[in-house]
Structure 1
Amino acid sequence: MKLRKKVLTSSISSALLACSGAALAADQAPKEETHVVVVTAQNRTQQAQDVPIALQIVGAEQIDKLASPSLAEMNGYIPGLSVNAEQATQPSMSLRGIGTSDFGIGTDAPVGIYIDGVYGGKTGGAVMNFNDVQRIEVLKGPQGTLFGRNSAAGAISIVTREPGRETELEARLRYGRFHTRNVELLANTALSDSTALRITAVHHGSDGWLKDAASGASLQHGTDNGVRATLRWDAPARAKVLLSVEAEKLDHMARPAIGLVAGVPAVPADPASYLDPRTAPVYNDAIHNGETRNFRGSTLRIEVPLGWATFNATTGYRRFDSRNRQDNDGTNLPTHYVDTENSERNRSWQQEFRLSGNTGMADWVTGVSLYHEKAGQTSQVNTNTDTLDNIFGNVAGFPVFSQLEGAAAMAGIPAGLLGNSWQENLHVEARNKASAIYGDVIWHLAPKLNLTTGVRFTRDDKRFSWYSPLRTAAGLDGSIANLQNLGFFDALVGMGAITPEQLMMAMGAMTQNIEFTSTGATAAPLAKKNKWNDTSPRMVLDYKLNDDMMVYGSIAKGYQSGGFNALQVNASYDPEKVWNYEIGMKNYYRRYKLLVNASLYKYKFSNLQSLALVNNGSAIPSYQVTSSDQGAHGVDFDMRWQPVRDLRLNMSTAYIDQTYKNFTTSDGVKLDGQPVGTPKWTTALGADYWVRDVAGGDLDFTLQHAYTGATRCNADALQGACLTTPRFRVGGATQRTDFRVGYEANSHQWAAALFVNNLFDKRYVTSIGNMTTGLLGTPYAMVNAPRQVGVEVRVNM
């Protein structure tokens, strides 16, 4: 059986890994052209140094060296990109400070994720386990003229490996602390002279590093399994057809809520007495706690050379069902019980046709994109009448249920008002259509001067509905009906114990919603629809000072359609628009094998949609979508240096100064001119060093470090982004260091490694949950993972 070989040519593969700061085996080590990296960022095959866009490339080798099962675990190593997937089915991400934490289906995302050209959305199907990834291209700034969906802030293009003609069998096992395991299996074979098949499977599981202090049960155990099969057909006339089918099943506990108060909480909560969540006991009692996702997808890609142009067609279908039910009080007290659940059903279809060619005078791309999505979502709050009684007492000074219970007890009547479950639901459905025509032309004005002009015409058509029925509390309803039949409430009024107005208020408190209080969609769904059109241009001028040095300037508009608030009935939003201005340089100093890229940008964003915790008049604050105008300026810098054959160094850094231009919170806090919260600095450093010819193989030492600056605080304290207590701080600067030493035999048939993530065991409080703080005195926190030590074995046949 032949040894495993790369699908790409060795020169391209070597160059790609070099640029990403990844390690190479001895026979793959680049000699000179370490800066030559082939990408498809502009829907053309180009060298990265010829692309006048601020972009960062992450190769498969760097993903392996970080032991990263998904994009979330690489957070910090791509400066300017922030990924939060503490809840895998409700991820949030931002690029250059622009993003959305909204997990509702009513809005889109300004950062587009594409897998082999197919849009991945922003909710439950956006962040999944890596499966046979060849590279990740992160493009910063508006990319509407280049991708099927208009990505106002930037795009993340994940490219998987194609089947090759060589036979490959590979198994990789990674095992670490907390019974963390990752298994990857690969089989590639030629079926005939013109067809090849590639099948990959991944398994990721962990027992987690947090346990419930009362039950001893793991709060993070679970698995994530995925499989992909790709068939390649080299058709006549040099045409190529790729058909991929994939599936993924995620099943684990929901993110734990670490309570910050001891004993019976007091209202208001006193931050001076908060426990340190990094060492505090954890109590979570959410019923049916868990996070699940079932994903299915298929992609058909066709490429046909026509002589005068190349025709590409991409058809993608995605479907997933997800559920996430989690604790929202951080205690196991029945009188303080609150949990929330988010479930989603999503079906999407994408069709894109593209023509591209090169006339010598111009390099052009034009395309048509169609996108259909049908989605349903249910937001749910679960609590009980004991907790509601606590809330009514804290907020209004009148604990309705216990007061009525006491009055009934004096009359010798078993009221049965306490101890009952209470559930509220908000059901929403969305039907979204998007169509676009786009074109992008690189005009070769002179041998060293290019002008790129592009434009995108977009039409979005969205239909949305809300249905918020009255709360479900069967036990309570039975008790109320029994008391009414006994004439209990009338007797209270007749005795003068309460007034008729007080009785009406008490009955309203017991029978009406306390969270989903919007009117108009209680008896039947309320539907709304809207359409938006947009024209987004792009213009870039680049000049080659010499073969290895380029300067460029660009102006681009980004657009994202309007939408609807999935958590507030009848609420809609205007489209987002951004103008981005940028200048940059791309340099390679061949003599020193030093690559230096930098860009300076400024943008103004209108109607940016973000998720925020707001006091909306209901008993429990809710997460709702808000819109704001924002502006920023910043710098992206990237350096790769190979001073000697066996040493590579890399550094990437991003600086951003981002502020609100026009925004007042729903609580009346004016934030004009204040920072949005995005840290000013993020930096990633890396070093690779090889020791050759050790026991018939090579040793590779890798050290990587990520730094994220402190959150820039503003006056909106409800979000919990900035908090300092005697025991911990939220929003401070964070650092992470990862180390790996690997050995690969000269035959390349096997390799082994030892890795340590978070080498210095840096622990941080990553966020604060204030949903129940003002009502029950129960704030909770999330923290990052402790040091992870593990081993890896890879076998090729």
Structure 2
Amino acid sequence: MPTIHRRLQRRQTLLPHALCLAIGALAAQQAGAQATEPAESADKAKLEAVVVSGQGRVQQLQSVPIPIQVLGAEQLKKSGAANLGDIAATVPGLAMDATQATQPSLSLRGIGTLDFGIGTDSPVGMYVDGVYAGKTGGALLNFNDVKRIEVLKGPQGTLFGRNSAGGAISIVTNEPEFERKGSALLRLGERGQRDVQLLVNEPLNADLALRATLVSQRSDGFTQDAGTGQHFGGDHSWGLRASLLWQGESARAVLSLEQETLKQNARPAIGLVPLQSGVPPFPADPTSYANPLSTPWRNDVADQVESRNYQGATLRLSWPLGGWLAGAELQSLTAWRHFNSRNRQDNDGTANPALYLATTNREGNTSWQQEFRLSGKNSLVDWMAGLSFYREQARQGADVDSSTTALDTLSGNVLGLPLFSTVNGLIDAVGIPGLNLREQAWHEQMDNRGAFRAVAVYGDLIWTLAPATRLTTGLRLTQDRKTFSWSNPLRSAPGLDAQLAALDGAGFFPGLVAAGALSEEQAAQLQGAMAGNVLIATSGASTAPVERRQRWHDASPRLVLDHRLSPDLMVYGSWSKGYQAGGFNSLQVNSVYEPEHVRNIELGAKGRWADAGLSYAASLFQYRFDNLQTLQLVPNAGGGIPAYQVTISDQQARGADLDLRWQPARSWQLFATVQWLDQTYRQGQSSLGHALDGQPAGAPKVQASAGFEHGWAMTGGLASLRLQWSHQSATRCSEESYVQGLCLQGNGWRVGGSRQRLDGRLAWESADARWGLALVGRNLLDRRDIQRVWYEATPLGAAYATLARPRSLALEARVSY
């Protein structure tokens, strides 16, 4: 009879300072046992092995000397997770803001970037079946037939085709099987949640098998615009995936095609300034901000939307070799990806015309990846070599929309002179009828184009020095070539220009100069202020693109030594270097990022006590990240609109991870993962120009996740209860954290506080596992965390917040054959 109690996927994390004592105690316990390669006995086999492929080979997790946390298909299904943003809290060390699916940000062990532009890569590599997913509009897709997720911590450049300076997230999907099967899942929940998953797997003949899946995510949203009644924070997406497997006598091929469409309301901007009309006090007093968790809010961007249309194709080939390479295997990976996305949103958090500010991010991206891997194994060495070619064509448009009414507020706050009201007053004094320079639309934009190419040669060799000792050596050689352009035309304001033309025809400004009301310099300044850019790159405005070409090279090594103290206990130490290619700030003309480097040292242990059903992994790590370049919203020293600029710092961290998995009985399993991290600035300056040396770099000190699953027989089937609790300590705030809105203490609310989450699942399935019912709960404690405060509109006197999702409950029905 199949059992519902499937083993939890092994998670890789690290142990605090007691690690050395623990290793010593375990070594003493195993004294007298011969240190040889582990062999599965009948007793030990009851502790299920978890298989991973993160090192480019299929291996048991317990034999891989890398901190890896694995989430399997069963775990993902039981959590009700739709994408990586839903499971980040259960992976200590992984932080992801998935508030905007087309502009996500993620970090691992505190290493990440907030840059949403196309000019840079992420230090955390994201891969789907080995295909690099990037970091912009196509990075965060919904799970579709996922087999497992492997989170590899620390630099992994010698194992993947693209850079992974801070770690890698490898998503592995299911391949077709030569067995007829299918399934359907329907989940109905609060706030209009309607999730559908369909699967069909069919063998077409002895050599061909087809697998097709459909996923659909729908929900109405968790918050409501007080003015329009429209719901925000919901989901509206669907995806198709089809794979064809050909299995020959000496070769195999898998062709996968995928499509995803997303179209939903943009993320809501919860205004912190309660005033909805008139001009609020300036500068705004943060102590007077309304509580975003309870205050009614209004947005006024009529055509707000977040949308994406994504297509992909992947061909994976593998065949064994003969001759002098007998026993080796050659693999080829060919992939094509394309998407278009649009994200238009409110950026002042109000429906006040005097504060109106909206942005639109438009992206189009096409990428090609070709990778060859050659691998083999003999009694001396297990080796793997790779050659990767990557090419990307990207375009991005950043639009900022406002009005002369809002810019009147801006000039009044910053200069003490409301520009358009002042000119209106002069027009009235002169007696020109029918003109009003306020209430006119104002548009600025930045258009970028990028052509990126990367070539890498990498290899990884696992040497057997003794029956119980192995040495891993790896090296990556990388060349990146990037071409990037900026086009920042002058502002567009047709209604305003028509009225300015009428003033010119009436000789308005020359008349004021002749009458002595204005000097020639003052008249020129007024005319220039109304005709020039105010919101984007005012110093670099140009209709002709400004283009830069850059080339970077790097060599990144990896060295690991592991030793088995007993068949059930392995210890290891590693040193690795990570490389992050340079890039460009898409919102600052002619701004270039230089390459970044990280060096990581790790000491760890992996083991199990098979008879007790216990497995564990622990490690200590320390890294140094040099020349970390982050896109930050930098306040304008003159009080004007803040600008996204590159800030540079060196950071360092030390930390520990611990991962435990225990199955004391067939019907019980318990699990826990913990990360402790102390991340600080070695040197650097804040956006305000102050030294950050020695200050915390923002990452919380403790992240943990723990839970259990228990099963029992009930009414001819199997019932189960699963609970999982996640905890994150408060953000370690620095001066920069407050500037970026990651820390703030309000009246009865806080940004950057500790976070708790409890997820649960109560389920029953038939004895033959053909069908089942479940109640799925996420965030059962209904913790309403404030993700961040945003300050783009502070010169207007406005600010807004974004919120995490509240509690959700859903009923799930599943049937399979």
**Superposition TM-score tier, normalisation by shorter sequence:** over 0.9
Name the counterpart of 2:379. Answer: 360
Check whether the contact 2:261–2:307 (CA below 8 A) recurs between aligned residues.
yes
Name the counterpart of 2:254. Answer: 242
Correspondent of 1:712 among 729, 732, 737: 732
Counterpart-to-counterpart distance in 2, 1:520 and 1:277: 37
SS of match in other structure, 1:525: strand
Shift of 1:416: 2.3
Task: State the one-letter code of the partner of 2:546.
Answer: L
More divergent stretch after superposition (296-305 vs 271-280) = 271-280
Name the counterpart of 2:26. Answer: none
Q: Which runs of 5+ in 2 are unaligned?
A: 13-42
Counterpart-to-counterpart distance in 2, 1:437 and 1:521: 40
Correspondent of 2:169 among 151, 156, 162: 156
Shift of 1:517: 2.7
Name the counterpart of 1:207. Answer: 220
Name the counterpart of 1:294. Answer: 309
Task: State the one-letter code of the partner of 1:76.
Answer: A
Shift of 1:625: 3.2
Shift of 1:624: 2.8
Shift of 1:726: 1.5
Whether 1:381 aligns to 2:400 is yes
Shift of 1:539: 0.3
Whether 1:63 aligns to 2:54 is no
Q: 1:432-481, CA deviations, whole angstroms, 9 ceiling, x for partnerless residues?
A: 00001111000000000000000010000000000000000011111111
Q: 1:288-330, CA deviations, whole angstroms, 9 ceiling, x for partnerless residues?
A: 1000000000000011011330111000100000010100001
Counterpart-to-counterpart distance in 1, 2:419 and 2:538: 22
SS of match in other structure, 2:504: helix
SS of match in other structure, 2:74: helix
Correspondent of 1:549 among 569, 583, 588: 569
SS of match in other structure, 2:223: coil
Check whether the contact 2:562–2:572 (CA below 8 A) recurs between aligned residues.
yes
Residues 364-763 of structure 1: matches in 2 within 5 Å?
364-413=383-432, 414-520=434-540, 522-616=542-636, 619-692=640-713, 694-716=714-736, 717-763=738-784
Residues 134-153 of structure 1: matches in 2 within 5 Å?
134-153=147-166
Name the counterpart of 1:270. Answer: 285
Counterpart-to-counterpart distance in 1, 2:688 and 2:302: 32
Shift of 1:418: 0.8
Name the counterpart of 2:38. Answer: none
Residues 101-180 of structure 1: matches in 2 within 5 Å?
101-180=114-193
Change (3 A) 1:95 1:192: same
More divergent stretch after superposition (360-369 vs 663-672) = 663-672
Counterpart-to-counterpart distance in 2, 1:575 and 1:221: 38
Name the counterpart of 1:24. Answer: none
Correspondent of 1:19 among 6, 10, 22: 10
SS of match in other structure, 1:76: helix
Shift of 1:182: 1.0
Change (3 A) 1:293 1:682: same
Counterpart-to-counterpart distance in 2, 1:731 and 1:18: 30
Counterpart-to-counterpart distance in 1, 2:671 and 2:694: 35
More divergent stretch after superposition (64-73 vs 137-146) = 64-73
Shift of 1:18: 5.0
Counterpart-to-counterpart distance in 1, 2:5 and 2:166: 30
Name the counterpart of 1:280. Answer: 295
SS of match in other structure, 2:89: coil
Whether 1:87 aligns to 2:108 is no
Counterpart-to-counterpart distance in 1, 2:573 and 2:666: 34
Check whether the contact 2:661–2:671 (CA below 8 A) recurs between aligned residues.
yes
Q: TM-score, normalised by structure 1?
A: 0.96
Counterpart-to-counterpart distance in 1, 2:444 and 2:289: 30
Q: 1:195-221, CA deviations, whole angstroms, 9 ceiling, x for partnerless residues?
A: 100000000011001111011111234
Counterpart-to-counterpart distance in 2, 1:464 and 1:521: 16
More divergent stretch after superposition (422-431 vs 405-414) = 405-414
Q: 1:334-365, CA deviations, whole angstroms, 9 ceiling, x for partnerless residues?
A: 11100011010000000000000001110000
SS of match in other structure, 1:19: coil
Shift of 1:411: 2.4
SS of match in other structure, 1:524: strand
SS of match in other structure, 1:567: coil
Counterpart-to-counterpart distance in 2, 1:339 and 1:738: 36
SS of match in other structure, 2:284: coil
Shift of 1:222: 4.4
Check whether the contact 1:612–1:624 (CA below 8 A) recurs between aligned residues.
yes
Q: 1:115-145, CA deviations, whole angstroms, 9 ceiling, x for partnerless residues?
A: 0010000000111100000000000000000
Counterpart-to-counterpart distance in 2, 1:796 and 1:447: 46
Q: 1:153-174, CA deviations, whole angstroms, 9 ceiling, x for partnerless residues?
A: 0000000001011111210011
Change (3 A) 1:54 1:223: same
Q: 1:469-500, CA deviations, whole angstroms, 9 ceiling, x for partnerless residues?
A: 00000111111111111111122222232222
Check whether the contact 1:293–1:322 (CA below 8 A) recurs between aligned residues.
yes
Q: 1:525-567, CA deviations, whole angstroms, 9 ceiling, x for partnerless residues?
A: 0110010110000000000011110000000000011111111
SS of match in other structure, 2:500: helix
Check whether the contact 1:649–1:686 (CA below 8 A) recurs between aligned residues.
yes
Q: 1:67-112, CA deviations, whole angstroms, 9 ceiling, x for partnerless residues?
A: 1111101121000011111010000000000001111011111000
Aligned residues: 777
More divergent stretch after superposition (321-330 vs 481-490) = 481-490
Correspondent of 1:342 among 354, 361, 367: 361
Counterpart-to-counterpart distance in 2, 1:441 and 1:734: 42
Shift of 1:720: 1.2
SS of match in other structure, 1:523: strand
SS of match in other structure, 2:544: coil
Check whether the contact 1:766–1:783 (CA below 8 A) recurs between aligned residues.
yes
Counterpart-to-counterpart distance in 1, 2:171 and 2:307: 23
Name the counterpart of 2:351. Answer: 332
Counterpart-to-counterpart distance in 1, 2:805 and 2:257: 33
RMSD (Å) for aligned C-alpha atoms = 1.7
Counterpart-to-counterpart distance in 2, 1:512 and 1:261: 29
Shift of 1:609: 2.4
Q: Which runs of 5+ in 1 are unaligned?
A: 22-29
Counterpart-to-counterpart distance in 1, 2:797 and 2:412: 12
Counterpart-to-counterpart distance in 2, 1:41 and 1:683: 23
Check whether the contact 1:466–1:521 (CA below 8 A) recurs between aligned residues.
no
Shift of 1:35: 4.7
SS of match in other structure, 1:792: strand
Whether 1:796 aligns to 2:816 is yes
- Larger relative contact order, structure 1 or 2 (CA cutoff 8 Å, min sep 6): 2
Shift of 1:147: 0.4
Check whether the contact 2:490–2:541 (CA below 8 A) recurs between aligned residues.
no
Counterpart-to-counterpart distance in 1, 2:541 and 2:296: 41
SS of match in other structure, 1:75: helix
Check whether the contact 1:15–1:33 (CA below 8 A) recurs between aligned residues.
no
Q: TM-score, normalised by structure 2?
A: 0.93
Give aligned-pair identity as a percent.
48
Task: State the one-letter code of the partner of 1:123.
Answer: T
Name the counterpart of 2:18. Answer: none
Residues 186-201 of structure 1: matches in 2 within 5 Å?
186-201=199-214
Counterpart-to-counterpart distance in 2, 1:15 and 1:170: 19
